[in-house]
Each structure stands twice: as structure tokens, then as C-alpha cells.
Structure 1
């Protein structure tokens, strides 16, 4: 696989989340390159204005190569094995690479959702955005171990 991009809104402020992100990034490295891109969270305006400011920052960082997978509570959840198969299928498209978007505290605007190639859910519960990034990285790691026959997923 050519790699994965993750665009997240806002710095990870919680120490335990920073530690977990580092842990999974280190575990993923032997399998695949993950580029973590952080866009600044909006501080001014109402909720809608903040989400639109963040949307512009996200969309400005996309490339034509990015296959946009937006994490969203309305997105389709899948098993770890199905996610693994999906990553493998995306890898077979030489002109695209998966680019996951994790919204900020206010969520994501319809502007970002409308550009998505896929809306993906991590489950029916709402997660803090910092924790959602950790869960995403753990699932990317798990998917890679499934693809490589490693016993992590048993």
C-alpha cells in the first residue's frame, strides 16, 4: 500500500490519547506509512461557522490522489475483517490512497461530507474526536495484521 493519510481537526491535547496515537503509529510503521495531518480547530464564530472554517482547512489539504473516507456517526460501520479487506481493495487502485478525516469537537460540516467517497462509522456511539483518531489507528493496525497473517487479531 502506498500509505494512508489521516486529517484530523485540532491538536490532541489529552496525554493518554497522544500516547495511544504514538503507540499505534509505531506499531503500524513496519506495515504501512501513515501521514497524520492536523488542521487547526476554529476558535471564532458559532458552531456552523467553526465547522465551515475547519472544512475549508480540511479541503485545502486534500490532493487529487486522496480517496476521502470521512468518519461520521451516520457512516457505515464494518467489522475489522471487512475493514481489512476494504483497505486491501483501496490499495489495488494505483491512482488513489485512503485519506481518513476525523472531525473536531463540533463535528464535520456537510461541505466535507458531500466530498466523501465513503462515510465510515466506528460504531453507533459518539466518541470524542481525539479518541476516534486512536480507535481509527488501532483498526488500521489490526487490519494490517489481518492482511499479514499476524496473530494480533484472533
Structure 2
């Protein structure tokens, strides 16, 4: 199952990008044998600052056809790492070819795009900066792959 992380905004070089690249490399290495990956980041940018509606239009264009759409949203479901891994495994085992993980801009995700999502997850009640959400999401993808592989990275 290919994974697209569809995000609003561009990430320049820096510590967040270094971490994201590292976790994506680890995920691709671990996930390949499990039928997970590759994972890629697709960045969209609303250069006119037209708001969440314009961002949603750009995000929709970035979504792979037929993908499971999972938003990252403060109103989403809070999952443990093993539960997140299990959800990825369910989508993969159901024969889904693509998963799109959607991260909105500074004002979140347009309600119409949230309504189109198949699933929504939250990293808790706190709101996180977009660049940290990307880091946390890629780390959780890697952690999920190691959980599904039975590896030692995740310990309960």
C-alpha cells in the first residue's frame, strides 16, 4: 500500500526535514516486506493565501485516485501506536492500494474535505505545529511498520 502524506506548505532544509527523511527511509526499509510503502510527501502551497477552501482544492488534486483518505485533525480519533499500526494493516489487508494522510494548513482542514475523509486521527487534544505533525506522523509510520513486523522498536 503506497502512502502519500499530503500537506499544506513547503518544508525547507532544517532539523524537521532531516527527521522526516530519516523516518521515511526507515519506514520504506521496514514496510516494504510488509506490503507497506513507499511513502512520499506531497506538498501543496496556496500562494494567494485564499484560505482553507483553496488549500482543500489543492489537496484534492494531490490525492491519489481511489486512496483511503485519512485526515490529521484535532477532532479525529486518538489512537495508540498499536491501534494505528492495526488500522494500517486493515487497510492493506483489504487490498487498498493507496493511503493519503492529509495535514492541513495553519487554519486546519476545510470542513468539506474533512467530511470526505474515510478516517480522521488526532495526536491528542493539543494543537501541534504543522512541521512537528509531519515529524510525528512519519515516526508513527515507522513505528507502525516495526509493530506489524514484530520488531523491538515499540515496547509497551
Q: Same fold (TM over 0.5)?
A: yes
Unpaired runs of 5+ residues, structure 2, are 32-36
Structure 2-normalised TM-score?
0.89
Structure 1-normalised TM-score?
0.90
Contact in 1 for aligned 2:146/2:154 (Cα 8 Å): yes
| DSSP 3-state at the match of 1:151 | coil
Partner of 1:8: 7
- The Cα RMSD (Å) is 1.4
The Cα shift of 1:93 comes to 2.0
**Residue pairs, 1:97-108, within 5 angstroms:** 97-108=98-109
User: Residue deviations 1:55-113, cap 9 Å, x none?
Assistant: 10001122332100000000001000011110000001224422100111221111211
User: Residue deviations 1:110-150, cap 9 Å, x none?
Assistant: 12111111111111110001110110110010000000011
Instruction: Name the CA distance, whole Å, in 2 between partners of 1:120 and 1:110.
Output: 15
Partner of 2:73: 72
Partner of 2:34: none
Tell me, yes or no, if structure 1 residue 41 matches structure 2 residue 46: yes
| DSSP 3-state at the match of 1:29 | helix
Deviates more, 1:9-18 or 1:134-143: 9-18
